[in-house]
Amino acid sequence: MKLFVYHTPELTPDSEVPDCAIAIDVLRATTTIATALNSGAEAVQVFSDLDQLMQVSQEWPAEKRLRAGERGGAMVPGCDLGNSPLDCTPERMQGRRLFLTTTNGTRALQRVQESPIVLAAALVNRDSAVQYLLAQQLENVWLVGSGWQGSYSLEDTVCAGAIAHSVMNANNSKLDDIAGNDEVMGAIALYLQWQDRLLELFHHASHGKRLLRLDGHEDLKYCAETDILDVLPIQKEPGVLVKND
């Protein structure tokens, strides 16, 4: 298996598709998606465009839907919730579809939605993604960070490194065996440097600082936890993620 890391949707090739693409937005979209499905949401449907979200979700029974919107880290007025994974409690999520739009994470998912397999991963469900990759015998896997409006983000790259490092160890392979591009080595190096201080790393990250200004300390703490959820969001139709069985 060859892994390729792309730091942003903009850096992700558009002339080909891999066997499997994993979208990563640790702060916070893919953490929220994993948490919502773990809490019993029927599905998470993602949109980059808010108007489209409102239009599509309008056709869904009101008692079976929740609209979540985030721009610039803050909740979008008119939505039921923002993008905090801590709001995705079983009481709220059970049996409902979460319609979600965020600044970058939902764009990353849309960027790779033509791939035959699309997954969403964060630190909270890192091991679920790794176990899936180990079981599937795939040739090419892309780890696609969401970044922030076209720029690199530490938190997505450290998660890509955590996944790559775990796959490499489990397969007993060497870096050159799994690294499809130089970014894989950079991501693993970042993870090895910060693996025991992920929350501290998030305090250095530009989006971490943005969320702290919005009172997001508890979100940062939760998003920094690793392997706490046994759930793997998988795309069942373009833009719709469900829990992989």
Interacting residues with ligand MLT (CB under 6 A): 25, 27-29, 70, 73, 83, 102-105, 146, 211
Phi-psi map region of 61: left, alpha, beta (phi>0 left; psi -120 to 50 alpha): beta
Query: Is the CB of 76 or the CB of 167 nearer to ligand MLT?
Result: 76
For 67, list phi and psi in degrees, rounded to 5: -105, 125
Q: How far is CA 236 from the centre of its chain?
A: 16
User: Closest distance between ligand MLT and the C-beta of residue 172, in Å?
Assistant: 35
At position 69, the amino acid (one-letter code) is G
Q: How far is the CB of 130 from ligand MLT (least distance, A)?
A: 22
CA 177 to chain centre: 25
Between 145 and 180, whose beta carbon lies closer to ligand MLT?
145
Q: Which amino acid is at 225?
A: E
Q: Of 29 and 133, which CB lies nearer to ligand MLT in the complex structure?
A: 29
Candidates 9, 8, 106; CA nearest to 48 is 106
Q: Name the residue nearer to ligand MLT (CB basis): 115 or 146.
A: 146
Of 39 and 103, the one with the shorter C-beta distance to ligand MLT is 103
Q: Is the Cβ of residue 7 or residue 28 nearer to ligand MLT in the bound state?
A: 28
Between β-strands 97-101 and 43-47, what pairing exists: parallel, antiparallel or unpaired? parallel
Write down the least CB distance from residue 164 to ligand MLT, Å: 22
Which residue has the CB atom at the shortest distance from ligand MLT? 102
Shortest Cβ distance from residue 74 to ligand MLT (Å)? 8
How far apart, in whole angstroms, are the C-alpha atoms of residue 188 and residue 168?
10
Q: Scanning the structure block, which residue is given the tokens 């979008």? A: 76
> CA 190 to CA 209: how far, in whole Å?
19
Shortest distance, position 191 Cβ to ligand MLT, whole Å: 20
Q: Output the smallest distance, CB 151 to ligand MLT, in A.
A: 11
